[in-house]
Structure 1
Amino acid sequence: MYLVKSVGSSLHRTLRTLTTSTSMAATIASAKDPLTGPRYEREPNILKKKLASVVPGTVNLQVLGSGANGAPASVYLFTDQARYLFNCGEGTQRLAHEHKTRLSRLEQIFVTQNTWASCGGLPGLTLTIQDAGVRDLGLHGPPHLGSMLQSMRRFVVLKNLQVQSFDCSEGACFEDSILKVDSLPLISSENPKKCVINYICQLKPRAGALNLLKCVEKGVPPGPLLGQLKNGQDITLPCGTVVRSADVTEASETALSFVFLDVPSVEYLPGLLAHSKRLKKLGEEQLTEVALVLHFTPHLIASCKDYKDFLEENFSPGTQHIHLSSPLNQFSGYAAAHRIQHQLHQLAPQVFPLLGEQMPCQSQSLSLNLKKTKLEDNNAGKANSSQEEEQGVVAMTSFHLRPRKGLDRTLESKLTPEEYVKETHAVPGFTELLAKFKEDYSFPINSADSYPKIIFLGTGSCIPNKTRNVSSILIKTAIDAYVLLDCGEGTYGQIVRLYGSDQGKHVLRQLKAIYVSHLHADHHIGLIGLLRDRRQLEPKAEPLILLAPRQIEPWLEFYNREIETIDDAYTLVANGELMAGPLTGEKVEPLGITAISTCLVRHCPNSFGISLTLAAKHKNENVKITYSGDTMPCQDLIDLGRDSTVLIHEATMEDELEEEARLKTHSTVSQAIQQGRNMDARHTILTHFSQRYAKCPRLPSDEDMQRVAIAFDNMEVTLDDLEHYHKLYPALLAMYAEYTEELEQRAVKRELKQERKRKLVQT
């Protein structure tokens, strides 16, 4: 009886001790634990050190961008303590923000190509993760990645983030406590200097669970010896008995592997086939299992026979496949943009048209190729062949590697238009105001070919958020001509999502000129991608006019020399050259423009404002459109824009933040409105709002808004529309009453805080 009690007591103590030790990893990952608190967000190296020896209990792959409708193709791997990103095209940081994908622990990025489609989001992302507290970033991929970031140093200023680039063209290997990543370089058969990197990733397996009953039988006392056995170490008891870890632990889990394949064209297929033996061996190893293959390969190559045969020969039927950039991927994942557009569309359908990107069909059932099964379900896995018809994926399609749950589509980004509209009608008073507005007035109907027309593609400042992208304004200056004012990250994606794929390509063909106001990243990072896409669409198209600061040349020349040809896609005209005299004549007449003039404005060095005098007339008067770029109130801009038909002016800050605006060389809302009055502009449109005003900016109550409009992404207005825009304000402000009330409360709290500071100074 005593022996049974003793053994039971020992087992109880052992269980209690082991429970404490084995729950450590879960405790560390807990959201309530101090390790994930603010201190460790500010000091990530401390957290990294604490978690270095902890095997992650959660390992998930998330499709961050599916490659559809101007979205990037990118995949995010996250564990309890680390994050990894595979490919980083334009728009990656915006999708991460929208889907609450935290970037504060992202320390390794793997890129398959050094072309803009795969790494165009790096400039914006590095600035964002620097602000999030990341101090060291590993950048893995083809040659020139490090040089590319270095060439952007004029406008991507990394003060606190150290980026170390790793050239994987020789088959480099990355390894940490969580996973091992082997590089598979594919060399072009036509140009040996061109290289694409594929990746084999293998998770470090978790050790088998400690069998407490066996430990008791072997006479192991509670205490640190149990931890040593769990970590795979053999121990010697005080009596001299050796206890082997293998004798008291369960078998380790099978290591899971996943593979990234990117074969951009047929010239890289021989390189892929050369790795066939290596991948086949990986699939045949008993200690690992290839759970998933993620394809960055474009559909044209992925559908060819050689590629399909390669998959069938080298991966088992149980391996699942996710194809990014597939034509079946119909939705970009930017659900918030659709949400606000459906809400604004109720006010004025032609000013706020519904987005033209193809809507995802939520009722589609899963195909066999993306079957929702657990990885342990062998019978289901056998049905899952790479030869089966695939189905599209969208942002937040997930694949759970640990715990082994396999594919998960429950969190996929979806559209629910009825819910978006219902939200606004739940706001007290909105339905009545909307009905009254529609009864009293409707906007004049314009044809799709009406011009001049101003289309706002990005109306936010600094970094994109889910409802406002960074600066970009498209102007239809003639029946067959468009001009772009600034070209922030994701500009081409905004065009495609607004107009749909076919019409978006039509707009790109008719784009004749791009103006870049200054070299801050949020005003021109979308330029390379747009030039590439236009060039691929029309290889022999007439080069467009690029009006930009002369200082942009070194960056464009580097990309053209080291990465891919773009210099035949544009003709550079330096903004400074137009200060002496406007650009006129045959260079601008095909644009429907008679003169383009610039002036220096009060922002960073080499910042410019611009005025366009159009050939089109409105009410028998010349049409003149002036754009401020980023600036404080500026007399030179007033002189440039004298008697403008439309002034488009930045209004970054609310009026109470005038001092902050001055320090950052921006304008407040009232300052921008006053600029319009001072130049006798008929209409003033406010844009470039701080991201603290994601929906609606805080408007001054004492300003006359009859000649003032506020810009939203995907808003398009004609001159006739602007005559009546002010009639929208009652319904618009009612629709976002809760949001604007929150802005007012913030302003009150800010004022109280300032008042306390003033009193402290006085005392």
Structure 2
Amino acid sequence: MPQISSLRLLLSSANHHALLTSPLTPKPPLSLSHLFKIKHPFLHTYTHKPRRLLFAAYSRKPKNIERPGSLSGSRRRSSSSSKTENKGKPAMEEGSSSAIAESVGFNKRRAEGKDKNDGPRKNLQLKVRKLNPVNTISYVQILGTGMDTQDTTPSVLLFFDKQRFIFNAGEGLQRFCTEHKIKLSKIDHIFLSRVCSETAGGLPGLLLTLAGMGEEGMSVNVWGPSDLKYLVNAMKSFIPNAAMVHARSFGPPVDSSGATDELFVPINDEVVKISAVLLRPRYSKVSKMTKEGSSDLDDSLVGVNHLENKISAERMQSTAEFALKPGDLAVVYICELPEIKGKFDPKKAAALGLRPGPKCRELQLGNSVQSDHQDIMVHPGNVLGPSVPGPIVLVVDCPTPSHLQELSSIHSLTPYYSDPSEQSKEMCKKVDCVIHLSPASVTCTTEYQQWMSRFGEVQHVMAGHQLKNVEIPILKSSARIATRLNYLCPQFFPSPGFWSLPQLKSLSSVSRGPSEFSLPASCQVITAENLLKFHLRPYAQLGLDRSGIPEVTSRPKIIEDLITEIPEIVDASEHITQLLHHGNNIANGGSMTLQANNVVIEEPWLHETALPSCLEGITREDMEIVLLGTGSSQPSKYRNVTSIFINLFSKGSILLDCGEGTLGQLKRRFGIEGADEAVKGLRCIWISHIHADHHTGIARILALRRDLLNETPHERLVVVGPRQLKIFLDAYQKLEDLDMQFLDCRQTTEASLKTFESGENKDVNGSVGVQNDQKDGSNLFAKGSRMESYWKRPGSPADASVAFPLLAMLKRVLREAGLEALISFPVIHCPQAYGVVLKAADRTNSTGKKIPGWKIVYSGDTRPCPELVAASHGATATFEDGMVEEAIARNHSTTQEAIEVGDAAGAYRIILTHFSQRYPKIPVFDETHMHKTSIAFDMMSVNLADLPMLPRVLPYLKLLFRDEMIVDESDDVNVATAAAI
């Protein structure tokens, strides 16, 4: 064996994402015939779509293959085989790395973004349902998104026999609905109580999912205040316009000086009347540390109140305090069901001279008729019993004390109060239920509780962020898997970071329960629980229904069930603990002969190579990779979409991709307070490409960081991504400030960084690095190649010199984090798709010996290409053998390609991730490379110090999931990922 001089960490996925540590002595590529031989009868072979070069996963061929480019988001579809190039070529050939990359086929039209019109074009139509005015069943239900993590606001479902209405669509809504079998296809309208990342973070993914359903797709009405237009304009950068043609807003613009005490009625039909009352705060509080609009303060430094700028900052605050901005508007929604008419009395009708027939029907419809035997008019009141008023439900979102001032004084709500001093009883509308989405900081105030008491005898449901069920996971399926993994191997699968008892106690002073509310005895107040219902119809069942609330499944119960199901797991867990405690001995060629009962301890392919020199003297505080999302395309109940958290501990952290729900995953991993600290410590966010499963969680992360650092001197966070991402972020920042600075990936390529280091700026058209890239040897993007035109497009910023200050800032930030460089490189997937290299600085040990720094390569979604091979020496995300054609069509990599590229590059470890959502538990693959490979799960944490022991956990993972190799047929998309370390 050649001596390993350094470590290469490679992450790959179905779209190729890669992580590497410093270079290893390259090995010749292995023969493909040795891969994917199934050794375990209880395992299936899975295919997957490579998305990242550091992680590889598997998925089988989907039932309906999507055409490429039908959606710019993650619901990608394959083009026909006639539109792919070189699909029959082998995935790799023996020889040089560039020969390996150039021998594979790829979909050029998809890579160039020219596949939008391939295949039939969908005509998204708004669903039209047959109304059922009778509505035998109707209720409102709490959808508890964010109840355990507080990363997003809960949603509220208004259910009818033939219609569904959703109030708010925060991050995780899709995943929640999949977990609890709530059919997204039944949704007709989505109402936003505010337009911000907290209430609308899950909307882009939801629209993409609905647009991908069925042959023609589906669309829904999206309602919100006037600032909804800013969100729509931002989403247009990556969502087809057809998916949003039914976005509708109401009310005057936020900067309008007109009165807002007006009732808007978006929905009024035989089923329900939904009215909206705008809450326009008296002022928009601007932090004294914010310096937007001031030319006196440094452009990158936020919150620094320099003495020389104190006067201008105070002047700005005094004027800005009353200046409303987009995102400040909130809405109270009033849902009124029609009254139930009294029962028809045939005896009274006969006494008034009416024969059974059409006239009786007219009376039931509310129309007067002429008597058949008497010269009189018969009115409905003569033959019908007393009518029952229709139930009324309010959904209230009052986010700040400023909104509360408006809420208390608005006249549009007067008819719904029970206070006789304000109106006669005849004018009063009886409200049955008020659902409060307002946070505890507002609901616990005396003013808010006084307002609540004005409704009289009403059921109040407190669903806002406060102390409630935070220890109970909302996503029970993923929590169950996390608990089982933690029992088996806590070192790689830490216990989920739900609130601990000390954290609960520390918040008790600011988060009070309803029992402490100062309300009249007639007011019934309860804390919302996940899936709590309030029945509206039948009228006899009017009231609360707790039957749908999930049972509380404790950790001890999950462990008890696991041991009953797999008795050998006890010995397996003990043996893994012993292995990890003796890891240094094994890593250096030692052996262990421990034998646990009924457990296969070692498999023939588990042998250890020499320890890379970059791991010499490594500590547990150097670097940890936390896989927040390991699924592909869209969230599932088992796996979230793409996100990798590079934890540098005291030196900060970096996010590689940021799919929807990334913040929630951070809070599940580190706890509420721990996640807040992680977000505050972010040094950089890097996004690979514009597909929705890679970036739609970024706004929520940036918004939280802004709020956490609001009163603290700090710098705007650097976001590195493709230029399409800048279009989205620029448009979104018109809605809410994200406190960030954008740097185009093109400005972080190796050639561009060389230009920056040399101080040259010869190309003023923004193509710095492109020409150099084409000069740096033969590749698929070089002159005369199939992809020659791929990079011949204007870059961003227009003048490379504009990026120089940001590059200097990025270099300093990386240096403070102990990193030498962040280098982006182009890959073949879609226009402006990239991979990234993170290099750690060299260090010196106690004897003065220089230790090379580790190197991580994350490939993003890609086909094997020279740029990827040059950056990582081969680690790609992949599909399985049977998915080669689809992998080419979607410009992903197969698992086989991912493993081979990583092995050819001499990668020390390979982590398989970015799994198809059809195969949520564990894939199966040939064991040829299992001595260096492992499988990723959400929340898996890989510390550099544990890398030598990583592959030894795999046999035990197979044991853990031996009875759970079940395909989840409810999921729509199949993707996989591979990673090499």
Superposition TM-score tier, normalisation by shorter sequence: 0.7 to 0.9
Measure how far apart 1:304 and its partner are. Answer: 1.9
In the alignment, does 2:129 pair up with 1:129? no
C-alpha separation in 1, matches of 2:348 and 2:942: 76
Q: Aligned pair in 2 of structure 1 residues 73, 681: CA closer, same or farther (>3 Å)? A: same
Residue 837 (structure 2) aligned to one of 587, 595, 611 = 611
The answer to whether the 8 Å contact 1:535/1:541 transfers is: no
Equivalences for 1:19-418 in 2 at 5 Å?
Answer: 48-50=128-130, 52-65=131-144, 67-68=146-147, 69=149, 70-132=151-213, 135-159=218-242, 162-169=245-252, 171=262, 172-174=264-266, 175-189=268-282, 190-191=322-323, 194-212=328-346, 214=348, 227-235=361-369, 243-275=378-410, 278-279=413-414, 281-283=416-418, 288-312=429-453, 314-330=454-470, 331=472, 333-358=474-499, 383-385=521-523, 392-403=527-538, 404-413=541-550, 414-418=552-556
Q: Aligned pair in 2 of structure 1 residues 435, 502: CA closer, same or farther (>3 Å)? A: closer
Measure how far apart 1:682 and its partner are. Answer: 1.0
Cα offsets for 1:170-226 (capped at 9, x unmatched)? 542121222112221122222356432222221122333334555566676666655
Measure how far apart 1:256 and its partner are. Answer: 1.4
| Aligned-partner residue type, residue 705 of structure 1 | M
Q: Aligned pair in 2 of structure 1 residues 574, 431: CA closer, same or farther (>3 Å)? A: closer
User: What SS is found at the alignment partner of 2:640?
Assistant: coil
C-alpha separation in 1, matches of 2:830 and 2:402: 45
Measure how far apart 1:152 and its partner are. Answer: 1.9
| Aligned-partner residue type, residue 466 of structure 2 | S
C-alpha separation in 2, matches of 1:370 and 1:671: 60
| Aligned-partner residue type, residue 715 of structure 2 | E
| Aligned residue number for residue 26 of structure 1 | none
User: Kindly, what percent of the aligned residue pairs are identical?
Assistant: 29
In the alignment, does 2:521 pair up with 1:421? no
User: What SS is found at the alignment partner of 2:181?
Assistant: coil
In the alignment, does 2:943 pair up with 1:718? yes
User: What SS is found at the alignment partner of 1:469?
Assistant: coil
The answer to whether the 8 Å contact 1:547/1:575 transfers is: no
| Aligned residue number for residue 749 of structure 1 | none
The answer to whether the 8 Å contact 1:487/1:526 transfers is: yes
The answer to whether the 8 Å contact 1:266/1:301 transfers is: yes
C-alpha separation in 1, matches of 2:828 and 2:581: 37
The answer to whether the 8 Å contact 1:140/1:168 transfers is: no
In the alignment, does 2:709 pair up with 1:542? no
Q: Aligned pair in 2 of structure 1 residues 742, 106: CA closer, same or farther (>3 Å)? A: closer
Residue 666 (structure 1) aligned to one of 888, 892, 895 = 892
**Tell me, which stretches of 5 or more residues in structure 2 are unaligned?**
1-121, 253-259, 283-321, 420-424, 505-511, 585-617, 754-806, 846-850, 972-981
The answer to whether the 8 Å contact 1:320/1:369 transfers is: no
Measure how far apart 1:120 and its partner are. Answer: 1.7
Cα offsets for 1:592-648 (capped at 9, x unmatched)? 2111112111111101001111126699442111111112223321110138xxx6x
| Aligned residue number for residue 70 of structure 2 | none
The answer to whether the 8 Å contact 1:459/1:687 transfers is: yes
| Aligned residue number for residue 556 of structure 1 | 729
| Aligned residue number for residue 767 of structure 2 | none
The answer to whether the 8 Å contact 1:332/1:394 transfers is: no
| Aligned-partner residue type, residue 149 of structure 1 | V
| Aligned-partner residue type, residue 442 of structure 1 | L
Measure how far apart 1:559 and its partner are. Answer: 2.0
Measure how far apart 1:308 and its partner are. Answer: 1.9
Measure how far apart 1:122 and its partner are. Answer: 1.1
Residue 858 (structure 2) aligned to one of 613, 627, 634 = 627
| Aligned-partner residue type, residue 722 of structure 2 | P
Cα offsets for 1:502-561 (capped at 9, x unmatched)? 21112112111111000111111111111111111112322222111122222212222x
Cα offsets for 1:257-314 (capped at 9, x unmatched)? 12122222222233212225733555465574211112222221222222222222x2
TM-score by length of 1: 0.81
Measure how far apart 1:661 and its partner are. Answer: 2.4
User: What SS is found at the alignment partner of 2:246?
Assistant: strand
The answer to whether the 8 Å contact 1:427/1:735 transfers is: no
In the alignment, does 2:664 pair up with 1:493? yes
C-alpha separation in 2, matches of 1:328 and 1:368: 8
| Aligned-partner residue type, residue 462 of structure 2 | I
| Aligned-partner residue type, residue 935 of structure 2 | I
Cα offsets for 1:297-350 (capped at 9, x unmatched)? 2221222222222222x2103332323222335246222221111111122112
| Aligned-partner residue type, residue 335 of structure 1 | K
C-alpha separation in 1, matches of 2:679 and 2:671: 12
C-alpha separation in 1, matches of 2:582 and 2:229: 53
User: What SS is found at the alignment partner of 1:671?
Assistant: helix
User: What SS is found at the alignment partner of 2:485?
Assistant: helix
| Aligned residue number for residue 626 of structure 2 | 455
Q: Which moved more, 1:573-582 or 1:500-509?
A: 573-582
Q: Which moved more, 1:437-446 or 1:574-583?
A: 437-446
User: What SS is found at the alignment partner of 2:853?
Assistant: strand
The answer to whether the 8 Å contact 1:173/1:181 transfers is: yes
| Aligned residue number for residue 118 of structure 2 | none
User: What SS is found at the alignment partner of 1:410?
Assistant: coil
**Tell me, which stretches of 5 or more residues in structure 1 are unaligned?**
1-41, 362-366, 372-380, 747-763
| Aligned-partner residue type, residue 134 of structure 2 | V
CA RMSD of aligned residues (A): 3.4
Residue 730 (structure 1) aligned to one of 933, 955, 970 = 955
Q: Aligned pair in 2 of structure 1 residues 727, 427: CA closer, same or farther (>3 Å)? A: farther
TM-score by length of 2: 0.64
C-alpha separation in 2, matches of 1:429 and 1:634: 46
C-alpha separation in 1, matches of 2:343 and 2:542: 19
Q: Aligned pair in 2 of structure 1 residues 273, 296: CA closer, same or farther (>3 Å)? A: same
**Equivalences, count:** 677
Cα offsets for 1:79-105 (capped at 9, x unmatched)? 111111111222222212211111212
C-alpha separation in 2, matches of 1:654 and 1:430: 31
| Aligned-partner residue type, residue 604 of structure 1 | C
C-alpha separation in 1, matches of 2:374 and 2:893: 79
C-alpha separation in 2, matches of 1:587 and 1:160: 39
Higher strand content, 1 or 2: 1
User: What SS is found at the alignment partner of 1:588?
Assistant: helix
User: What SS is found at the alignment partner of 2:715?
Assistant: coil
Q: Which moved more, 1:155-164 or 1:470-479?
A: 155-164
Q: Aligned pair in 2 of structure 1 residues 511, 47: CA closer, same or farther (>3 Å)? A: closer
- Bigger relative contact order (CA 8 A; separation at least 6): 2
In the alignment, does 2:872 pair up with 1:641? yes
Q: Aligned pair in 2 of structure 1 residues 445, 502: CA closer, same or farther (>3 Å)? A: farther
Q: Aligned pair in 2 of structure 1 residues 123, 439: CA closer, same or farther (>3 Å)? A: closer
